[in-house]
Amino acid sequence: MRIYDDLVNIKNSSLALGFFDGVHLGHKVVLKNAVHIAQKSNCPSVVITFKEHPLNYLTNAAVPQILTLNEKLEMLELTGIDNVILLDFNKYSHIKAEEYLKDILIKYFSPIAITTGFNHSFGFNKEGNSHFLNSNKEIYGYKYFEVPPFVVDDSIVSCSAIRNKIQLGDFPNASKMLGYNYFIRGIVIKGEQIASKLGYPSANIDYDKCKISIPHGVYYVKVCTDGKEYNGILNHGYAPTMENEQKLKTEVHILDFNENIYGKKIQISFITKIRNQNKFENIEKLQAQIKRDIAFAQIYQYFLHGNFNISCKRFHN
């Protein structure tokens, strides 16, 4: 996949337009349609998107993302897209829709087809939309494909819905909409060694401020390091029992793992929330709770793989 930092000529393209934060299930339909047309027509597929979220400029505030730019590019490549054009939103935000279509999309890409989601918009005051693209297709000689809402469990899949679920710690339902587990990445750094003293050594990383914040709590996660995946228990927040309520920490105890990974990059995928953070009366009660957290994870992994066949009325998180 080729990545360009500004406009280039890629003629007779199959275009996909959108910001694609999260590259969720709805986005993948848009992207795969563009790829399918490109393959069928023996032409290049092109995603036209922005380096930063448009709301960063419109609201003058950083908008937390589901994926970092590099993570998004990795996900886009997996869909089979040939080219990605990364534009600066502030450079094109005041261009009218008609000008954007004629002087950018048509001039540089002479598209044979354009695919967007049902709610995609572009141009000054969002004048460009599905109706606009459809009404101009015969004038400029392209086919237009509008992808309808993608629905999961009677809810429309959208970035705002996914962000809301992540912010609430509802990772099972966020994963359903994403089509994969929400994840973070980071370099393992040295902590205060408190977890090791408790008998549960942990890997500490800095939670990327560009990513959506999650509630403080304890989570069942999957940890990927050196190409291998492990189960883990992650604590995100402070350490009230240890009277360390000043420093926000993200630390994961990797189950059945005893290797030195300081300085290595790991990926942590969130499966489900186990509990909120609590302040325990003493270290012994904290250790007992950690044992219960690990037991939860061990049971839940069987539940995930369909091996959890114990009859019960309710499965408590």
User: pLDDT tens digits for 220-258?
Assistant: 999 999 999 999 999 998 876 555 556 789 999 999 898
Distance in angstroms between the alpha carbons of the first and the last residue of the chain? 41
Residue 55's pLDDT is 78
Whole-prediction pTM: 0.89
- For residues 118 and 149, is the Cβ–Cβ distance under 8 A? yes
- For residues 2 and 34, is the Cβ–Cβ distance under 8 A? no
Residue 142's pLDDT is 98
3-state secondary structure at position 200:
coil
Residue 9's pLDDT is 97
Which residues of the chain carry a pLDDT beneath 50? 307-317
Domains of the chain: 2-152 (3.40.50.620), 181-304 (2.40.30.30)
Give the start-end residues of each E strand in 104-216.
113-117, 143-147, 151-152, 155-156, 183-187, 203-205
Residue type present at position 269: S
